[in-house]
């Protein structure tokens, strides 16, 4: 009986160890999968998702909402909406592509102190190591999955202009879509009474849409308006936070490193702060020869005003 008991206990112990090893192996593989997913696939998926959403909203605005408003509430303002829509779309696509494609900047790979404890290369002031990118980034603000890389020195302006133009465009969509949304939402459960179809909007695609996909018309109008309301609040808060950081001369990583000093001192001042105006000139790269209208309101690929390594060049580039 004792031998049988020992045999059963050994068998249970072996099964338990096997189960633990299988679970640990599965957990390790799952974590590795998540790591690869977040590093390689999620960013690419979100990149294409942005363009899908832009296409869907543009489709809704120019093929449904604005033609509908031309019939129901005709106004010369609608042509202004069309022009502004194209302007914002160009800026959004340009700055998003730049934020995704321009390298945020990396330190020169030397062994000059200070040295990064992870990648063992030179780590200048305001540079930080990103565990997702696996490298140090100049003036790192944060890692953004929506652009599939870090927001750093060379693409920070593009990123901020992207979210700013996107936020302002949501205000335009909310204002221009409000009446069309209310009209179509009221008929949400009655596909045979879709306002776009009952008003007989005189566009070539009216008959095809109304005969084959009336529900899609209502869905596009409601989705476009709902997405605009959501982005208005989310991006509004995000823009306000980033505008504050820029105004005091900080990045998000800088702020997190200095937040304890701020709590202790109350009136603490960032070591990178110049002044409100100079901070924005530095961030936007508005040196002599660069203007707000030509280089900020319109797409521009001008480089930052300093190389990211020497703090005194902040002052030199702006005061020239």
pLDDT of residue 38: 63
CA-based max dimension of the chain:
97
Q: What is the pTM of this model?
A: 0.83
pLDDT of 314 > 90? The answer is no
Lowest mean pLDDT among 81-85, 149-153, 200-204, 266-270: 266-270
Q: pLDDT digit string (tens) for 108-117?
A: 877 778 888 8
Rounded to whole angstroms, the Cα distance separating 81 from 24 reads 57
Quick one: DSSP state of residue 15? H
Identify the residue with better confidence: 312 or 14: 14
Q: Confidence band (pLDDT; 50, 70, 90) for 23?
A: low
Q: Looking at residue 29, what is its pLDDT?
A: 63
How high is the pLDDT of residue 154?
Answer: 93
Long-range contact pairs involving 50-56 (C-beta distance under 8 Å, separation at least 24)? 50/96, 50/146, 51/93, 53/227, 54/89, 54/92, 54/93, 56/220, 56/223, 56/224
Q: Which of 231, 187, 168 has the alpha carbon at shortest distance from 68?
A: 187
Q: What is the pLDDT of residue 310?
A: 38
DSSP designation for 122: B
Q: Which of 16-20, 115-119, 124-128, 263-267 has the lowest mean pLDDT?
A: 263-267
- What's the average model confidence in pLDDT over 203-218? 84
Q: What is the mean pLDDT of residues 87-110?
A: 92
Tokens of 9: 């206990």
Q: What is the pLDDT of residue 313?
A: 41
Per-residue pLDDT tens over the stretch 24-67: 666 566 556 656 666 667 888 889 999 999 999 999 999 999 98
Query: What is the pLDDT at residue 316?
Result: 44
Contacts of 96 by beta carbon, 8 Å cutoff, 6+ apart: 50, 147, 158, 162
- 307 pLDDT band, cuts 50/70/90, is very low
- Residue 243 has a pLDDT of 96
Active-site residue numbers? 144
pLDDT tens track for 124-159: 888 888 888 888 898 899 999 899 999 999 999 999
């Amino acid at each position: 009986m004792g031998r049988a008991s020992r045999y059963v206990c050994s068998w249970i112990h072996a099964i338990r160890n096997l189960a633990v090893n299988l679970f640990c192996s599965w957990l390790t593989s799952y974590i590795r999968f998540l790591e690869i997913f977040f590093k390689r696939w999620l960013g690419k998926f979100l990149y294409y998702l942005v363009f899908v959403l832009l296409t869907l909203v543009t489709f809704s605005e120019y093929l449904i909402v604005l033609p509908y408003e031309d019939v129901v509430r005709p106004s010369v303002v609608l042509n202004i909406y069309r022009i502004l829509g194209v302007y914002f779309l160009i800026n959004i696509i340009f700055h998003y592509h730049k934020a995704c494609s321009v390298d945020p900047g990396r330190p020169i790979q030397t062994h000059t102190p200070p040295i990064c404890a992870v990648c063992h290369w030179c780590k200048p002031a305001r540079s930080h190591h990103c565990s997702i990118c696996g490298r140090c980034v100049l003036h790192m603000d944060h890692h953004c999955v929506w652009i599939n890389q870090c927001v750093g020195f060379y693409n920070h302006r593009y990123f901020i202009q992207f979210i700013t133009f996107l936020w302002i465009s949501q205000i335009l969509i909310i204002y221009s879509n409000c009446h069309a949304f209310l009209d179509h939402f009221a008929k949400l459960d009655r596909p045979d009474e879709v306002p776009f179809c009952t008003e007989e909007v005189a566009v070539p695609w009216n008959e095809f849409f109304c005969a084959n996909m009336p529900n899609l018309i209502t869905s596009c109008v409601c989705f476009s308006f709902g997405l605009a309301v959501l982005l208005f609040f989310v991006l509004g808060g995000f823009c306000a936070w980033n505008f504050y950081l820029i105004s005091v001369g900080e990045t998000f990583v800088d702020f997190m490193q200095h937040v304890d000093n701020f709590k202790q001192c109350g009136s603490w001042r960032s070591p990178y702060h110049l002044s409100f105006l100079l901070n924005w000139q530095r961030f936007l790269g508005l040196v002599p020869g660069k203007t707000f209208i030509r280089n900020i309101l319109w797409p521009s690929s001008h480089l930052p005003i300093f190389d990211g390594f020497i703090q005194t060049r902040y002052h030199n580039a702006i005061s020239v």
